């Protein structure tokens, strides 16, 4: 399969802190690729670097063969890379509907926007019932669905997701992963950051393990699930 | 009709007119603060520049008054755009105190510029059509047409503002950006453009307020922005800085208090400019965030 996103020797630092110390990641079109790692390993930094939201980075980010390392965040979004940020980051003062609509800010194709809006509502019936209320009044789980829906409104070719299952009850975690599969079935590519390694690896075509800013391991989701070190460190198996 | 009622009607119109002006200026402070957490100290001077632009558009470039006003408003919008781009944008990620000092510096710069280029001597602002001063009788109260124009124009501008904020795409981004700048950029919005538009909007409102102010107290001078600017800022803080409804409510509240206190206690007239501070202290004692509270940045 052709690769849609390629990260070459990425380094990120915040002042004197080296958060990412030179990593290489490849994402094939149509696949679910996951990036797992402990707190502070540099998972969010990697996604933020792709979106050009970090102030200082080195290396190269190629998207569909084009160098987007220096593109503006807005242009990156318009080109088809959309991030569901860590902590959801719903706009609490905007209504649920406005939160969805602002996800399509960079688009002008009215018909496409309408289609995606309907798709998102079919994906999240709970959201549909709450279109008029402020985003800040939603429960944590509903906010996560809204954040995913909002990102889908940007018509991503590749969706970056930063710990979408964080803080959710088991049933909702299951639902989030079902949604991820449905998004994949729509032909979209997904780069998923997770601490819930079991679920992430079970659903991923390919996976990377990030340890203090470096890639420690990589392989297919299944092979890492079976990997002894991964089982010890990330899956809680003794 | 008795004199008391006439005086009351008179005072109500004066309050509405003064409150309109404070509210128009306060909206500019509050929008910029809402997005950048920056107190744009130069805002009162943008108001002043707007009146000079109108004055010269009509006296030197011989534009008819309505065109002169329009051109002045647009140029003031451009001035706000440039100030943000040149002075504030480079410091957006610097410590807040740096942009605050830059804002104070910008205020001094605009005042000095006005003194040097326009001259320090007040100029009579007799560039508006004479019928603006016509008196309209409400009962037996004599209200100048300008008062109605001021209130009407303000009402109209607030309608437009509401329309922009709640019915347009850029307005949606403005509301989003006021709680979370990075996430707004993740929506595909060009954050710089949204911030620029906010400055343009705030500055055009200041220009309109300036022109209305200059017709009410018909003169222009380089420091004319100081007191109205400061009071409008206080109005914004009273209303809850960052909140647009707050700035409007605060502006009218201040206008009413100032006019009514002087109206009913003429002996206090000399302390007129102090009222705003007294109200500020009292309100902040009971509601430290002002009347309306805004969403502050989400902490994750
Ligand atoms: N804005 C910042 N300023 C300074 N240091 C930062 C900043 N953001 C992240 N870091 C540091 O960079 C390192 C990597 O952080 P990052 O948020 O990428 O980790 P993460 O893998 O996403 O962790 P978590 O699972 O807790 O979200 C950490 O040591 C963190 O303290
Ligand atoms: Mg993280």
Q: How far apart are CA B220 and CA B158, in angstroms?
A: 25
Are residues B178 and B34 in contact, defined by beta-carbon separation less than 8 angstroms? yes
Rounded CA separation A27/A35 (Å)? 11
Averaged pLDDT score across all residues of chain A: 94
| Contact present, B284 and B293 (Cβ < 8 Å) | no
Verdict on whether the full-model pTM lies above 0.90: yes
Residue B292 phi, psi dihedral angles, 5° rounding: -105, 135
CA distance B31 to chain A (A): 15
Is the pLDDT higher at B139 or at B116?
B116
A174-187 average pLDDT score: 95
Residue B129 has a CB neighbour count (10 Å cut-off) of: 12
Cα B204–chain centre separation: 9
Closest residue (by CA) to atom 5 of ligand 1?
Answer: A14
Cα distance between residue B110 and residue B222, in whole Å:
8
Read off φ and ψ for residue B124, nearest 5 degrees. Answer: -75, 130
Helix, strand and coil percent figures for chain A, each rounded to 5: 40, 30, 35
Predicted local distance difference test score (pLDDT) of residue B237: 95
Report the residue of chain A nearest B167, measured CA to CA. A98
pLDDT of A225-238, one tens digit each?
A: 888 887 877 776 65
Q: Give the C-alpha distances (Å, rounded to integers) separating A87 from A10, A39, A143, B138.
A: 24, 14, 9, 58
Contacting B residues, span 266-295, partner chain A, CB-CB under 8 Å: 295
Supply the DSSP symbol for B180: -
How close A32 gets to chain B, by Cα (Å)?
21
pLDDT digits (tens, 9 = 90+) for B205-241: 999 999 999 999 999 999 999 999 999 999 999 999 9
User: What pLDDT shows up at residue B2?
Assistant: 67
For B29-42, write each residue's pLDDT tens digit.
999 999 999 999 99
Classify residue A136 by its DSSP letter. G
Look up residue B14 and give its two tokens. 């004066």
Task: Determine the average pLDDT of the residues in B259-268.
Answer: 90
Quick check: B298 pLDDT over 90? Answer: no
Report yes or no: B161 and B34 within 8 Å, Cβ to Cβ: no
Query: What are the φ and ψ backbone dihedral angles of B188, each rounded to 5 degrees?
Result: 90, 10
Q: Quote the pLDDT of residue B300.
A: 34
Q: How far apart are CA B147 and CA A179, in angstroms?
A: 60
Mean pLDDT of A10-27: 95
> In 3-state terms, what secondary structure has residue A8?
strand
What is the residue with the minimal CA distance to atom 3 of ligand 1? A14
Check if A166 contacts B (Cβ < 8 Å).
Answer: no
* Alpha carbon A154 to chain centroid, angstroms: 13
Chain A neighbors of B300, CB-CB under 8 A: 86-87, 89
List all residues of chain A from 76 to 135 with a beta carbon under 8 Å from chain B: 77-78, 82-83, 85-87, 89-94, 98, 101-107
Q: Cα B229–B231–B236 angle (5° rounding)?
A: 95
The full set of domain ranges for chain A reads 81-155
Can you list the positions of beta strands (E) in A80-151? 81-84
DSSP3 helix / strand / coil % (chain B, rounded to 5): 75, 5, 20
CB of A45 closer than 6 angstroms to any ligand 1 atom:
yes
Backbone CA torsion sign across A83, A85, A88, A93: negative
- Please give the radius of gyration of chain B, using alpha carbons only, rounded to the nearest integer: 19
Mean pLDDT, to the nearest integer, of B248-272? 92
Model confidence at B296: pLDDT above 50: yes
Determine the 3-state secondary structure of A25 from DSSP. strand
Q: Are B199 and B189 in contact (CB under 8 A)?
A: no
Closest CA to A27 of A189, A218, A199: A189
Cα–Cα distance between A31 and A204 in angstroms, integer? 8
Using a 10 angstrom Cβ sphere, with 0-12 exposed, 13-18 middle and 19 or more buried, the burial of residue A125 is: exposed
With cut-offs at 50, 70 and 90, classify the pLDDT of residue A84: very high
The mean pLDDT value for B154-160 works out to 98
Looking at A43-52, B136-145, B284-293, which range is the least confident one?
Answer: B284-293
Q: Rounded distance, CA B111 to CA B99, Å?
A: 18
Which atom of ligand 1 is the closest one to the Cα of A54? 1
């Amino acid at each position: 399969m052709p690769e849609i996103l390629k990260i070459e020797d990425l380094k990120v630092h915040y002042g004197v802190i080296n958060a990412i110390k030179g990593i290489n990641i490849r994402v094939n079109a149509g696949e679910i690729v996951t990036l797992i790692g402990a707190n502070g390993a540099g998972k969010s930094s990697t996604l933020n670097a792709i979106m050009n939201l970090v102030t200082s980075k080195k290396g190269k980010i190629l998207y569909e063969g084009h160098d987007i390392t220096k593109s503006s965040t807005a242009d990156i979004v318009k080109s088809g890379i959309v991030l569901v940020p860590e902590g959801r980051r719903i706009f609490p003062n905007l209504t649920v509907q406005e939160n969805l609509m602002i996800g399509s800010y960079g688009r002008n194709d009215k018909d496409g926007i309408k289609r995606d809006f309907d798709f998102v509502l079919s994906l999240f019936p709970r959201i549909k019932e709450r279109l008029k209320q402020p985003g800040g009044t939603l429960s944590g789980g509903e906010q996560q669905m809204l954040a995913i829906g909002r990102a889908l409104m940007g018509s991503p070719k590749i969706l970056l997701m930063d710990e979408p299952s964080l803080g959710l009850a088991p049933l909702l975690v299951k639902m989030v992963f079902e949604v991820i599969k449905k998004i994949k079935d729509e032909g979209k590519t997904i780069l998923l950051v997770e601490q819930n390694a079991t679920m992430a690896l079970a659903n991923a075509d390919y996976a990377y393990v990030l340890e203090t800013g470096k890639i420690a391991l990589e392989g297919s989701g299944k092979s890492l699930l079976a990997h002894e070190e991964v089982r010890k460190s990330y899956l809680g198996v003794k | 009709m008795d004199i008391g009622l006439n005086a009351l009607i008179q005072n109500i119109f004066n309050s509405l007119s003064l409150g309109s002006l404070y509210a128009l200026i306060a909206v500019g402070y509050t929008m910029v603060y809402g997005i950048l957490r920056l107190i744009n100290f130069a805002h009162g001077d943008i108001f002043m520049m707007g009146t000079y632009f109108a004055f010269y558009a009509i006296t030197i470039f011989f534009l008819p008054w309505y065109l002169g006003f329009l051109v002045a408003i647009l140029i003031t919008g451009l001035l706000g755009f440039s100030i943000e781009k040149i002075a504030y944008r480079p410091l957006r990620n610097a410590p807040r105190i740096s942009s605050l000092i830059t804002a104070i510096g910008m205020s001094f710069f605009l005042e000095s510029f006005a003194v040097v280029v326009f001259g320090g001597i007040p100029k009579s602002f007799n560039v508006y059509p004479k019928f603006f001063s016509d008196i309209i009788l409400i009962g037996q109260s004599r209200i100048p047409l300008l008062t109605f124009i001021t209130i009407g124009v303000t009402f109209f501008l607030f309608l437009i503002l509401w329309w922009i904020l709640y019915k347009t795409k850029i307005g949606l981004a403005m509301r989003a950006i006021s709680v979370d700048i990075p996430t707004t950029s993740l929506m595909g919005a060009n954050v710089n453009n949204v911030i620029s538009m906010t400055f343009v909007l705030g500055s055009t409102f200041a220009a309109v307020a300036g022109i209305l102010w200059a017709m009410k107290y018909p003169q222009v001078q380089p420091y004319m922005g100081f007191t109205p600017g400061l009071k409008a800022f206080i109005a914004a803080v009273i209303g809850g800085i960052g909140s647009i409804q707050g700035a409007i409510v605060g502006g009218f509240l201040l206008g009413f208090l100032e006019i009514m206190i002087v109206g009913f206690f003429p002996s206090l007239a000399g302390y007129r400019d102090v009222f705003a501070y007294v109200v500020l202290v009292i309100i902040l004692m009971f509601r430290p965030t002002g009347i309306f509270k805004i969403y502050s940045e989400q902490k994750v």
